[in-house]
Structure 1
């Protein structure tokens, strides 16, 4: 006899009495679902961490300079005995990329440089004279701009730089630094490479002091052009092939960076990035004591590539002690326009014979320079141990680095 429905146990109770058939891996199903849900989050976090590492360290400048891309050795080797291809250039100024026919059978000089390196200024001016003097005999001069900072990767910045120096030979823009890597360049240096008409590299080296070393490279250029045009009597010279540089006689110009992990000492190395904060010094020796250590005083905002003036005026300044023949600073104006930077050396205005290429004296004899665009500004010259102070007249100015060119024969500190 069938039990009335009112007396039958509930369906879920009947099911509970039946033995459950559970797959052998069912206890781990929750863990597997958790792993499947967490995997995209973990991968996204890893990619984000990689992007931050590339952008902020351990290298400096544009995109963190791609870790492992440059060897921090005194002389990084050229990666091939033949002239590397130039196909990896992002774009070109002063004409299009030179095709194979344009370089075949020519003597080729390639210079990898940064537009914020003071040594590059001397080298590029010399290359422009070679371009004008030897171009009709078969020399091809090519520049490769490997920027150290994000602003220098823009085409407009490169065009203004070339115009300011009067350069009209082709220049490749290498924002991702692929070409710099192929040629064995280093951040903030000039790598000079000369190839013969067959494309074989005859000489390649990082220049420590271009003014002192380019004469030996010109000797190689003339020898190759004599072989190419034996009917032309090029003037003889006494310079030999460029050998390895003597470190004591050819000091490398040094840079002191002011942003991110490239700051190795002083208050900026310990400061929190991304916000305006006060920097104070109770005693004078705190801002004038240690050579090549930047000391901000007043209100500043440390950032990834530099330090930004949060206020203007005489109470806001950057100080640094140095011993160099020429001093420059990489700076950018505020977003709203140009800015004036007052310059003191040893707490006095610069004398006329100590003014750098970009510095001026006003009617009362006060020394200054105007920041009109992001670039390297040459502030003062004259060897000796000094303390330089830069005071922005208005907030918003970004200072990226100090550059120092030691006197000839002095060791790099």
Structure 2
């Protein structure tokens, strides 16, 4: 789960407080099914998950029925549907701030009355959103004839995600055919008071928000909420089962048991654990060097780079980035600085080609080509998963790097 940084501040001990919504230990990631639990506002709940301590505070619309089940068995036919306590959380805010609509003419909250609406905030380079997509896409298809309208609100995290052509290509790549509100100015995001990617808001046929979920996971409960709202709206023959989907590539569920490295931002504003000996300089080109040894979770630049607020730009040939991590999957959000000018790169793990641990965007020798701005899957380790030293070397200048994510 990603949060919008202006909403958050550090409160010590590696924790972030995000406008009274969620405090998450960013040093050890917990399953978002745990992060999604909420309690009354301004109170704090300490949850002990396997190998992770999570601090959770309330959402403004907190209610008892938001607690998530950890270790659920989606679609278990032996589990009879139960009536969930869905309290009113305010009226659905306006969608008028969208700069454009894709896959649909503009939709309004008023025109959607009588429909059950599922609103998901997303941004296309976000790994957490990508891992929810198989379920959201399946719900849109399964319940479209029962009165469900799914709306994706694309609110960019990085500047490149504001580009309309890139958003269109992402819709085609991810096979998103439900309505999408392009929220490049964060107007819809602000109207909802949202702070997270991904975030789900469940709206009943009277236009009232009845449930929300931040982050990944809790898919069975979310689908049960949809079924309950559809039945309450008078829909007939609403299926009682829940979908069974298995994501592939970047959409595969994370290996939470082995995920020990937090999301790592390369831009100055959110950079942590930076280990190049000279430290990080903002706004001018610096020749960086990687240290001989990296501690776990640390990363470093090597070569001539200009670090900006959200991105690092490679200014010279043969620049490198190294990162010591522990996770099954490693992804890197990056793209060429000049459109139409791809840059070749090579990945090594512990100084060697990745072999069977290569991700979808490179071959077994670690070779890949950077041709567009997006999330690139570079490592998918077979079991057993251990600590690894990741290295990516670019053969030419003109590379923009934004963030590492893991799974």
TM, length-normalised to structure 1: 0.70
CA distance in 1, matches of 2:316, 2:231: 60
Structure 1 residues 230 and 397: CA distance shift in structure 2, 3 A: closer
- Deviation for aligned residue 1:90: 2.0
Structure 1 residues 330 and 237: CA distance shift in structure 2, 3 A: closer
SS at match of 1:277: strand
Instruction: Name the structure 1 match of 2:220.
Output: 215
- Deviation for aligned residue 1:341: 1.9
Instruction: Name the structure 2 match of 1:324.
Output: 327
Is 1:346–1:386's contact at 8 Å kept on the other side of the alignment? yes
Which of 333, 342, 346 in structure 2 is aligned with 1:338? 342
1:305 equivalent in alignment to 2:310:
yes
Q: Which runs of 5+ in 2 are unaligned?
A: 10-17, 24-56, 62-88, 245-255
1:292 equivalent in alignment to 2:297:
yes
More helix by share: 1
Is 1:60–1:305's contact at 8 Å kept on the other side of the alignment? no
Is 2:325–2:389's contact at 8 Å kept on the other side of the alignment? yes
Is 1:116–1:376's contact at 8 Å kept on the other side of the alignment? yes
1:73 equivalent in alignment to 2:76:
no
CA distance in 1, matches of 2:165, 2:260: 29
1:356 equivalent in alignment to 2:359:
yes
1:204 equivalent in alignment to 2:212:
yes
- Deviation for aligned residue 1:387: 1.4
How far does the alpha carbon of each residue in 1:69-117 deviate from its partner, in whole angstroms, 9 at most, with x for none? x627336735652222211222222222213464111111011122221
How far does the alpha carbon of each residue in 1:315-373 deviate from its partner, in whole angstroms, 9 at most, with x for none? x3100111123211110113151112211112121123x23232234xxxx11332211
How far does the alpha carbon of each residue in 1:121-164 deviate from its partner, in whole angstroms, 9 at most, with x for none? 12123211111111111000001112111111121121111111
TM, length-normalised to structure 2: 0.71
How far does the alpha carbon of each residue in 1:163-204 deviate from its partner, in whole angstroms, 9 at most, with x for none? 1100011111222223223334335x2111111111222210
1:137 equivalent in alignment to 2:146:
yes
CA distance in 1, matches of 2:204, 2:258: 27
SS at match of 1:215: helix
Larger radius of gyration: 1
How far does the alpha carbon of each residue in 1:241-289 deviate from its partner, in whole angstroms, 9 at most, with x for none? xxxxxxx9998994211112222342569332233221224x521xxx2
CA distance in 1, matches of 2:329, 2:169: 23
CA distance in 1, matches of 2:178, 2:258: 27
Is 2:95–2:109's contact at 8 Å kept on the other side of the alignment? no
Is 1:153–1:175's contact at 8 Å kept on the other side of the alignment? yes
Is 1:196–1:224's contact at 8 Å kept on the other side of the alignment? yes
Which of 137, 150, 169 in structure 2 is aligned with 1:128? 137
Is 2:146–2:238's contact at 8 Å kept on the other side of the alignment? no
How far does the alpha carbon of each residue in 1:39-94 deviate from its partner, in whole angstroms, 9 at most, with x for none? xxxxxxxxxxxxxxxxxxxx999xx85899x6273367356522222112222222
Instruction: Name the structure 2 match of 1:98.
Output: 107
Instruction: Name the structure 1 match of 2:369.
Output: 370
Structure 1 residues 178 and 292: CA distance shift in structure 2, 3 A: farther
Q: Which runs of 5+ in 1 are unaligned?
A: 1-58, 240-247, 406-413
